[in-house]
Structure 1
């Protein structure tokens, strides 16, 4: 993590214009911005501009007038302080730099130039609650603790929450001392992120029934279920109560308003249908779970808040440090910064946050770099990037409502890479609003590189990707898929054409348990016939079902180390058993149609992916061409290789060689071994008296590097040591 006490690496020039006597190419204009500047500044040290907008406009005007020559390098030095945005800071093609002469927006003191998308509230403005109606709705034991503030709302009141939302609630959101506060909920969350209510009896799934007599039942409609708890009788449902639930699948969350509660029959009826119905079938827990949000009666824990959107009154249960707290209400629902069709820009050392939209959007940009920035406390994605040759480097992203970084670009039809780079970024505590399919890093298009990132503490995926020729290497991923099931740290799926991607030298560990009975948390999850990805040289430690290939082909599994996982490798034949495999009836499948859209049987696709080009004449439903070479499985507790009967029948079509299965203490009851008939797997077992020591440098502290004299080198000479010390974050010398 970054240390705010470290000095920035560069020397700040104080002259307005610094011109090298030796090369006009290295001349650089410096413009100064200060949050407490007087109006009418000229951008000099003594009379800085007051905002980034003024600095941008000065650059534009100076270029038009000719005072700023074409190709002139410019640095906008942003002084310490807070810069409140009530609209997006926009940059376009006219704000571009040029090769060797970028336009740079740089904090004078790293992370002390704070760009905010909200309003600051004073703790002194919060008062005790005196309204008898409100007091009567609060728990008598804590009602004297609750404070209220009247807000300067937009045009009289804040917009109401919708009947249902999957992603981000309507603005605003409250942050105190750099942390998002919890909208009053029940049950309360605890340190283990538990705090769910559950139900197991459904009255109406809400799914369409064409044979129903009632016309409303013939279409998809709001569902209902039985929930017997006297607490609900306290709630004023007509004032608005929302439930966040995993209503059917552990990978599909949604927030839905309660339409009514029948206290006699104990039935909750929802106000909107859920896409998959209510408890209409799933792989995972039999019961379903939810918690209630926006319930004034449940304002009962420090840090919780409630917003009366009609009266613009915010109620808060203060924390102990409230009197000296920094309080921000995020209101800006648009990105704080948007760069469109621009080239050769750089953003360095800025602190960007407290908005109710995205942090930064780089749209169709080239050679734009975001480096050493802190991007946090946002309702949506930290940074969205599209275009080519862009870089997000050494940034710290956290407390995000959806994703950390989203990267796209390149041309899949021609397999032209974008060469966008996400490197050395620390991304954590994301997916706070959208709990599923809001990854730490999302990748699409062709030819992105994701390297040396640390991604952790999230409910669902760490990396969600599709497309071609992406490289994911030396990333450390842990404590993800903590709230969900049938999910993977790395996830891609349902596409034959997502080919040429490489996952190598990543360390994936300590994932959420999911449904332990089914082991439905995965390290790498190639779902629904996904094809053409290489999984090589990765370390999986306590990572659930470490590698899962769901019916796909051409996915080499090579030289991986799997330690202390319930299941080491899974390959199934769902393409052979599910009607979905190439069906237009099932959403998102149409595997052959997706391939035809990319002209997959002609160059460059047929040259680059010859097995894909022949797939329709080569048993397309079978999970073929998945070589399994040089993998090491240590202390696997349930199944070394999980597979179905169809895969058993195809064993002669698999390339399997030089795999080692190790039971370090010979524990027959708790440790799985390879079956004798598996050619290409060799068992090695120790005993309690003489446990096998494979030669890891420090396995107890998760260093699975091999010593020179490691026994593993002798038992499996073909195994290539994995460079553990190169994985994860490194010290960027520019930001020490």
Structure 2
């Protein structure tokens, strides 16, 4: 009998993208040194030979050691991107061949973006190609040197800030992102209209308290994790303006935009934005505080004292700051290109370039980061009351849901026929690549997107202006993101037309992998989705796994709002393989107002409570029909039978008990095409210990025992995770015991049990992750809990169903609402043929407090046979009563 279906894991190597056809590989330990040159000249004999056949007399050559007074030939290269642009600009009017800008190996440092417009375009049927040959880095960073040990703080080092560094939100050591100093809020907080009253004046004694910010995360309250955000899909941040005595004043307008979102007067609790709550949940308590000197206590943490112009860092084991490449991002954009609708930038290729070390300072401003979804934020002094609320409020700005998009560190708008080929987007502080309003016929292929603070790639917008169209995003690897703004998405696609997202691999991401569409939320109040220009978009043949590793309420592919005008031109989601979800959500999530969606021929498994969902009423008329949706010929675990639910058509889908039950052709075709699979074997930056796990929660498991759960790290340091260690601390913060679990076992179980504790004492827990490089920093501390007795069994599950095919059946149930005095950690399924199946995993933990249904597939069944299945919940008190269901498999 096959075991219950579990996600197939494939390690996603930390990679650096170049096609097999591209020339020089990047170094594996970080950015090439500035001015690095081949042994036979600035460009090297191999580079010159490879490019000579395609070179034009108009070509321009750059080197980090060049001279902007030079002519720009291979023998006399210029130094800066701006000067190269000016040489190109003087030549584009008379092109008889493609004009290539050849970047010699090395680092090209930018304090301001390279600005491109229509004058920098190709012409006469030819292109301008910016070619880094896989060895050129466009960097917005400044090297931090002159490190000295701080006498009064053993282990702490300090260095003067480099010239031009006024502020930054990131620091990197040998290509490895450091953690801004963070820790628990050291006082109790009571919310006021302008911030908080603290239980003590501790924060008022900190140096530079105006640099610190509160971060608000979310979680499952059953596991002693407070919901502190603006929805389980968000992680807002607000700076502290000042602290005087016990009075903490928060920065405006971030505070109001996060706590005063206008609500419908006749719909209690429903914001007019219709996305999340009107204020920070859990009474507005902060989950943790970040960016303070006083919090520097873990290896890998840093702090920039702007007033003293000094950078502080606690090195990780093995790091030597005297020899390390320490980079502080200065620029907020590396390329800012486009033009106007009438005069766009066009026919330009960026090939073999690495874009790194850019920051984004808006979240550090009084506006903060008042997130609403997918990196979009509420901004402006009256944003909470008017922004994007259109006709629903007096003075609302239109169109509905036109909130503020996170910018791209590489950003283009009003551009035509722009290609990004074999490029790397890494070590970035905003979104990686933004193809914004008016982008047409762009291609992004063979690229790597990793170690990015927010969204990996953004296409189009939601402001109702000219939609992006004809964008093809193919054969890219996006992984280990977002690293700072954890509600970000690997690929965000707004209002667009004729776009294709295909053959990409997306893995190890904190929230949803791909987000499509916008503006569907009015169906929450019985209104139709916002009209928009989207149509003819396709998401096909992608491989998505290990997604939603940190936040909830998303999916592998998430879509909402109108996707077209009919089933013919609506969005097509086909041929994708999606598995290994961690957070609460769905494989393909058809959310509010998702209309004219086709979900066909995908392989979907390892999701929390649905493979494809959900039904929504189409409010464009009063007929009560569903939003037109076709769910056809998928291979999945969900097992829903054929039906036509008022326009939601489900037909021809197949239950699978293992991935091998799905067609090999679909499995083999999804993800990177063969010519691009070498991307998976490359990495960027030095190998490092893993990032800390997140959202640690605890529950009693009986007298003297605790159950511990947490979210795994999705940034593994370029080396596979081996294990996790839970550290149990007493009330004084002293470690009393530890417990280990392998990474593989934790993936299956999602919790561990620790016994031998004092039933009368409250304990907190931190968790560290370990790979071959060692153990990473500990997580933030869980809330305290006493390991009291667990003696009351849970109630029986309800709503049991058995959805059968000839050889397999999906057993579905609703978790019990009464669970006794412990948390649900699993279920026990018995089958009338004598088998017992223990159900564990993240979904077993999170579906109960959320009230979501669960399912598992039972394989190895005989056709035409009656089966009885029972399901019982398991807690620290034991196994509860069963619910029973019987069904007969159809004849083969």
**Shorter-chain TM band:** 0.5 to 0.7
| Deviation at residue 350 of structure 1 after TM alignment | 1.1
- 1:186 matched to 2:250? The reply is no
Consecutive unaligned residues in structure 2, runs of 5 or more: 1-14, 25-44, 218-227, 262-268, 271-275, 361-407, 518-533, 659-795, 812-830, 838-858, 865-892
What TM-score results when the alignment is normalised by the length of structure 1?
0.64
1:56–1:144 Cα change, 3 Å:
same
2:459: which partner in 1?
407
Distance 2:424 2:600 in 1: 32
2:590: which partner in 1?
526
Identify the range of structure 1 (540-549 vs 459-468) with the bigger mean alpha-carbon deviation: 540-549
Of 463, 469, 479 in structure 1, the residue corresponding to residue 546 of structure 2 is: 479
1:354: which partner in 2?
357
Question: SS of the counterpart of 1:54?
Answer: helix
1:588-667 superposed matches below 5 A = 615-619=620-624, 622-623=625-626, 625-634=628-637, 655-659=649-653
- 1:46 matched to 2:54? The reply is no
Q: Tell me the alpha carbon deviations over residues 287-346 of structure 1, each in whole angstroms, 9 at most, x when there is no partner.
A: 976121012121011221111112211111123222321111100123335344222111
1:434–1:172 Cα change, 3 Å:
closer
Contact 2:98 2:128 in 1 (8 A): yes
1:508: which partner in 2?
578
| Deviation at residue 158 of structure 1 after TM alignment | 3.0
1:120: which partner in 2?
143
- 1:255 matched to 2:254? The reply is no
| Deviation at residue 405 of structure 1 after TM alignment | 1.4
| Deviation at residue 62 of structure 1 after TM alignment | 4.0
Distance 1:404 1:334 in 2: 15
| Deviation at residue 241 of structure 1 after TM alignment | 3.0
Identify the range of structure 1 (370-379 vs 318-327) with the bigger mean alpha-carbon deviation: 318-327
- 1:244 matched to 2:244? The reply is no
2:348: which partner in 1?
345
Question: SS of the counterpart of 1:94?
Answer: helix
1:198–1:537 Cα change, 3 Å:
farther
Question: SS of the counterpart of 2:129?
Answer: strand
Distance 2:556 2:182 in 1: 28
Contact 1:173 1:180 in 2 (8 A): yes
Distance 1:712 1:545 in 2: 23
Distance 2:194 2:353 in 1: 45
1:433: which partner in 2?
484
1:149: which partner in 2?
159
2:166: which partner in 1?
158
1:631–1:462 Cα change, 3 Å:
closer
1:309–1:48 Cα change, 3 Å:
same
1:234-313 superposed matches below 5 A = 235=206, 238=209, 240-246=211-217, 247-248=228-229, 249-258=231-240, 270-272=250-252, 273=255, 275=257, 277=259, 290-313=287-310
Distance 1:498 1:262 in 2: 57
1:7–1:452 Cα change, 3 Å:
closer
Contact 1:42 1:48 in 2 (8 A): yes
What TM-score results when the alignment is normalised by the length of structure 2?
0.54
Question: SS of the counterpart of 1:115?
Answer: strand
Contact 2:555 2:588 in 1 (8 A): yes
Question: SS of the counterpart of 1:522?
Answer: strand
1:262–1:490 Cα change, 3 Å:
farther
Question: SS of the counterpart of 2:431?
Answer: coil
1:258–1:418 Cα change, 3 Å:
closer
Q: Tell me the alpha carbon deviations over residues 509-557 of structure 1, each in whole angstroms, 9 at most, x when there is no partner.
A: 22223xxxxxx322222222321111112222222233454443xxxxx
1:536: which partner in 2?
600
Distance 1:413 1:4 in 2: 34
| Deviation at residue 354 of structure 1 after TM alignment | 0.8
Distance 1:151 1:117 in 2: 15
Of 96, 111, 116 in structure 1, the residue corresponding to residue 134 of structure 2 is: 111
- 1:373 matched to 2:423? The reply is yes
Question: SS of the counterpart of 1:57?
Answer: helix
Distance 1:263 1:120 in 2: 38
Question: SS of the counterpart of 2:85?
Answer: helix
Distance 1:532 1:275 in 2: 34
Question: SS of the counterpart of 1:44?
Answer: coil
1:650-689 superposed matches below 5 A = 655-659=649-653, 674=801, 683=809
Contact 1:346 1:371 in 2 (8 A): yes
Of 123, 127, 141 in structure 2, the residue corresponding to residue 98 of structure 1 is: 123
1:153–1:481 Cα change, 3 Å:
same
| Deviation at residue 443 of structure 1 after TM alignment | 4.0
1:632–1:385 Cα change, 3 Å:
closer
Higher relative contact order (CA 8 A, sep 6+): 2
Distance 2:331 2:505 in 1: 28
1:394–1:624 Cα change, 3 Å:
closer
Distance 2:281 2:807 in 1: 33
Question: SS of the counterpart of 2:356?
Answer: strand
Aligned length: 550
- 1:450 matched to 2:455? The reply is no
Distance 1:234 1:459 in 2: 35
Distance 1:417 1:150 in 2: 44
1:443–1:393 Cα change, 3 Å:
farther
Distance 1:489 1:198 in 2: 37
| Deviation at residue 413 of structure 1 after TM alignment | 11
| Deviation at residue 438 of structure 1 after TM alignment | 4.3
Contact 2:461 2:493 in 1 (8 A): no
Distance 1:663 1:174 in 2: 46
1:58: which partner in 2?
87
Distance 1:353 1:8 in 2: 19
Distance 1:225 1:485 in 2: 30
Distance 1:409 1:258 in 2: 30
Question: SS of the counterpart of 1:542?
Answer: coil
Q: Tell me the alpha carbon deviations over residues 585-644 of structure 1, each in whole angstroms, 9 at most, x when there is no partner.
A: xxxxxxxxxxxxxxxxxxxxxxxxxxxxxx42533xx4254455445544x6xxx669xx
Contact 1:529 1:551 in 2 (8 A): no
Question: SS of the counterpart of 1:479?
Answer: strand
Question: SS of the counterpart of 1:402?
Answer: coil
| Deviation at residue 488 of structure 1 after TM alignment | 2.5
1:62–1:548 Cα change, 3 Å:
closer
RMSD, aligned α-carbons? 4.6
- 1:8 matched to 2:22? The reply is yes
1:286–1:57 Cα change, 3 Å:
closer
Contact 1:223 1:278 in 2 (8 A): no
1:231–1:302 Cα change, 3 Å:
farther
Contact 1:174 1:328 in 2 (8 A): yes
